[in-house]
Structure 1
Amino acid sequence: MSKILIRGAKVLGGEPQDVLIDGDTIAEVGSGLSAEGAEVVEADGKVLLPGLVDLHTHLREPGREDSETVLTGTRAAASGGYTAVFAMANTFPVADTAGVVEQVYRLGQEHGYCDVQPIGAVTVGLEGKKLAELGAMHESAAGVTVFSDDGKCVDDAVIMRRALEYVKAFGGVVAQHAQEPRLTEGAQMNEGVVSAELGLGGWPAVAEESIIARDVLLAEHVGSRVHICHLSTAGSVEIVRWAKSRGIDVTAEVTPHHLLLTDELVRSYNPVYKVNPPLRTERDVLALREALADGTIDIVATDHAPHPHEDKDCEWAAAAMGMVGLETALSVVQRTMVETGLLDWAGVADRMSLKPAAIGGAKGHGRPVSAGEPANLTLVDTAYRGEVDPAGFASRSRNTPYEGRELPGRVTHTWLRGRATLVDGKLA
């Protein structure tokens, strides 16, 4: 049906209202709207948000379809309330040419569960030695504006400066994986008391913080935009806060798992907790929450990193780094930010939809829930409580750190330009 009436939804957590969708657009928002000719969805006080946008997703295709594909990854995204995701470049082959980014972009269009915006590599082959075809990727059908060697740090200051200068010409942004490689050789987890007790190689906070400090100064010097991926330490928060106070054009993201989990979990030696950057201390977690609340950290990004069973079900040292996150992100944010009083639902919409869309230039996404706007929407049952069961995930991979953990909230419906991709918790 071309018309859908969402009745009695708490728009951004406010008072219940009706929202009428006509085709691909929100036609009206108000009380007591007519349902004539429309399919009615009884929201019963559920929270209605603009469709979520993830600036940091690994879809693995092409090359690692054993862990995820554009189809399974976007189905997972729709299940988690996302209407747009940005796909990282560390595929095989690497997304460092117009041809590869166009392939990923078109796969997203074909499958239709959410919009897929490819992220282009900063350097050829993610090797950090030669700039990739940034201009060609931007001018391609994919229209790439975000570039990252995620998984690998652009540690050469000259290369980083050149990348910042290049993307400035078309308003692009370099998203940096902040990890000084020499300081993290052999690192297995956060450097601290727990790593010393377990005898695992430590990953010092300064390895992240030193790169962020360098890059915000480079961005200031060039007059360009830099985005910090998966910020994870209290020290990194202070550097970003200082940079913003100077007017430097820097944005930063935090993952849901860094808002909730700590390095104490590594005592189990369960590789599900092995991630890059590593889980940090309780002090870091609290600093990250406060920074997300006060705007120092701009957005929540999942860093959804699927891996096949054999890459995680092994000894700690041999296990791959990463966690799936698209289907649990909103629940973790509700648990860590809303239920703690640090953010209201309007704040969640800002950090998980409006700002990531603005940073990445996701057209039609991250828009207010108001008449005339694209009908990219997410309906959330915030009263729901349930244990996480990865067997029910839409993602091809199951490497979640939340298995068996009770989390609040459940996405019941997702609409992409007025078309339901998730209905009553089931993929359409």
Structure 2
Amino acid sequence: MDILIKNGRVIDPVNKIDRVTGVLISEDRIVKIGNLSEVKTSGEKPKIIDAKNKVVIPGIIDIHTHLREPGHEEEETIATGTRSAAVGGVTSIFCMPNTHPVIDNQTAVEFILLKAKNEGIVNVFPVGAITKGLSGEDLTEIGELKKAGVVSISDDGNPVMDALVMRRALEYAKMFDLSVIAHCEDKNLSEDGVMNESYTSTLLGLRGIPNESEDVMVARDIILSALTGGHLHIAHVSTKGSVELIRQAKRNKIPVSCEACPHHFTLTDEMVKTYDTNTKVNPPLRTEEDVREIIKGLQDGTIDCIASDHAPHTEEEKNKEYDLAPFGIVGLETLLPLTITYLVKTKKLSLMAAITKLTSNPKKIFKLDSGTLTPGSKADITIIDINVERVIKDFVSKSKNSPFLGKKLQGFAVMTIVNGKIIMDNGKILSD
């Protein structure tokens, strides 16, 4: 059945559209954007969706998530993670390779894709490992991973400490037209740190992770990107130093892109004073100055994308003393409202700019078919009520580890359409 979305404020950064109009979907493709009088349907009467006072955008693409399957299904599965995404208005997700076993071979990639096809409800793009077993030593068969269907390679959560290995990864990835997603952390500097190294860490008696542990690796990987010409995408930028290094790299035309996560532009290390392990993330929450610089980077285009780094953990895992609890928070269901509440409603970013970082920039960087409302593109669409307010109480995700529980946020997805099918309507999953 055709779907006609009418009366909504349609925003599509790729085509520079921002106006009240209609969108016609036929099967799994977008057919046309235009006023109702201009839009003609064929065959049976289309399903009409009245999006008055709502915003209609390309489906959100979250380029940084951890679905935990295979190996840690007690934390998340492809089934639960994709439903969490749908409720958050996210239509496409990249799943990182730090599973058990690691996504470092064709069989593992095929497992993810088959599971996603059979049990998932949004588009799942596997990210392959840079090195076998995330060891940082022997490169994976990057060409074979590309053939199997990976969209990028990364040792996410594990920095590639050996510069020669990283150089070779960038060289081989370039040969196969893949980006390398880098987790930039010098383990020699971060050691066993559990929070940002600052006055606050000293006050709390917790081991600190200095900004420089990130900055040093960002600088190294930028230099290697310049040397090889391979495209480098820097994950979860958290420091003012990293922002400036990336800014300079872009001025020098080095093929570098990057992302920021909502917790790094909304929270500071002051939050750790509660010893709430839901504030324990890697990279850690930084200072107010770092938060300001992340926002500046988002404003001036230094930071291309906003991604959740969705990292689910069970209550049992998180219910430990701060030193022993694992890093990570869930984020698929708060990605959009945190962006709207802290960036758009505060006028730090226009709605168009925010949507660009959630849709068209990920599309462009990773060469995806979705992320636009261009006729002929995949019919992945998110409809948002940017004014609705909700208190974050619970999650569809299997895990609940979030520092935003109890927070009142604005701007939530009210409908999610994937491949031309409505999969979420007002918080209810329709595919189950």
Question: TM-score when scaled to structure 1?
Answer: 0.96
Q: Deviations over 1:70-110 (max 9, x none)?
A: 11101111111111111100000011111101111121122
Counterpart check, 1:46 vs 2:54: yes
Q: Aligned equivalents of 1:375 and 1:276: distance in 2?
A: 34
- Which secondary structure does the structure 2 equivalent of 1:171 belong to? coil
C-alpha displacement of 1:361: 2.8
Moved over 4 A (4+): 33-36
Instruction: Name the residue aligned to 2:14.
Output: none
C-alpha displacement of 1:26: 2.0
Q: Aligned equivalents of 1:344 and 1:210: distance in 2?
A: 32
Runs (5+) with no aligned partner, structure 1: none
Q: Aligned equivalents of 1:133 and 1:27: distance in 2?
A: 39
Moved more, 12-21 or 190-199: 12-21
C-alpha displacement of 1:112: 4.2
Instruction: Name the residue aligned to 1:110.
Output: 118
The answer to whether the 8 A contact 2:304-2:357 is kept is: yes
Instruction: Name the residue aligned to 2:140.
Output: 132
Count residues with an aligned counterpart: 421
- Which secondary structure does the structure 1 equivalent of 2:170 belong to? helix
Distance 1:370 1:161, change over 3 A: closer
Question: How do 1:23-422 and structure 2 match up within 5 A?
Answer: 23-33=27-37, 37-140=45-148, 142=149, 144-362=150-368, 364-367=369-372, 369-390=373-394, 393-422=395-424
The answer to whether the 8 A contact 1:331-1:410 is kept is: yes
The answer to whether the 8 A contact 1:189-1:203 is kept is: yes
The answer to whether the 8 A contact 1:16-1:45 is kept is: no
Instruction: Name the residue aligned to 1:4.
Output: 3
Instruction: Name the residue aligned to 2:425.
Output: 423
Q: Aligned equivalents of 2:254 and 2:24: distance in 1?
A: 41
C-alpha displacement of 1:345: 2.2
Q: Aligned equivalents of 1:75 and 1:177: distance in 2?
A: 26
Counterpart code for 1:69: T
Q: Aligned equivalents of 2:49 and 2:205: distance in 1?
A: 55
- Which secondary structure does the structure 2 equivalent of 1:421 belong to? strand
Runs (5+) with no aligned partner, structure 2: 12-16
Counterpart code for 1:293: Q
The answer to whether the 8 A contact 2:277-2:322 is kept is: yes
Q: Aligned equivalents of 1:306 and 1:47: distance in 2?
A: 29
Q: Aligned equivalents of 1:273 and 1:76: distance in 2?
A: 20
The answer to whether the 8 A contact 1:291-1:297 is kept is: yes
The answer to whether the 8 A contact 1:55-1:360 is kept is: no
Counterpart code for 1:136: E
Q: Aligned equivalents of 2:343 and 2:300: distance in 1?
A: 12
Q: Deviations over 1:190-226 (max 9, x none)?
A: 0111011111111000000000001100110111111
Counterpart code for 1:397: S
C-alpha displacement of 1:328: 0.6
C-alpha displacement of 1:358: 2.3
- Which secondary structure does the structure 2 equivalent of 1:414 belong to? strand
Q: Aligned equivalents of 1:156 and 1:373: distance in 2?
A: 40
Q: Deviations over 1:219-245 (max 9, x none)?
A: 101111111010000110000011111
Distance 1:108 1:15, change over 3 A: same
Q: Aligned equivalents of 2:401 and 2:261: distance in 1?
A: 15
C-alpha displacement of 1:259: 1.1
C-alpha displacement of 1:357: 2.1
Instruction: Name the residue aligned to 2:18.
Output: 14
- Which secondary structure does the structure 2 equivalent of 1:400 belong to? coil
Counterpart code for 2:49: V
Q: Aligned equivalents of 1:420 and 1:192: distance in 2?
A: 47
Q: Aligned equivalents of 1:96 and 1:66: distance in 2?
A: 22
Moved more, 111-120 or 217-226: 111-120
Q: Aligned equivalents of 1:26 and 1:289: distance in 2?
A: 33
The answer to whether the 8 A contact 2:78-2:120 is kept is: no
Q: Aligned equivalents of 2:87 and 2:114: distance in 1?
A: 21
Q: Aligned equivalents of 2:174 and 2:36: distance in 1?
A: 48
The answer to whether the 8 A contact 2:196-2:269 is kept is: yes
Q: Deviations over 1:14-73 (max 9, x none)?
A: 332222222222223222347881212121220111001111110000000000001110
- Which secondary structure does the structure 1 equivalent of 2:155 belong to? coil
- Which secondary structure does the structure 2 equivalent of 1:132 belong to? coil
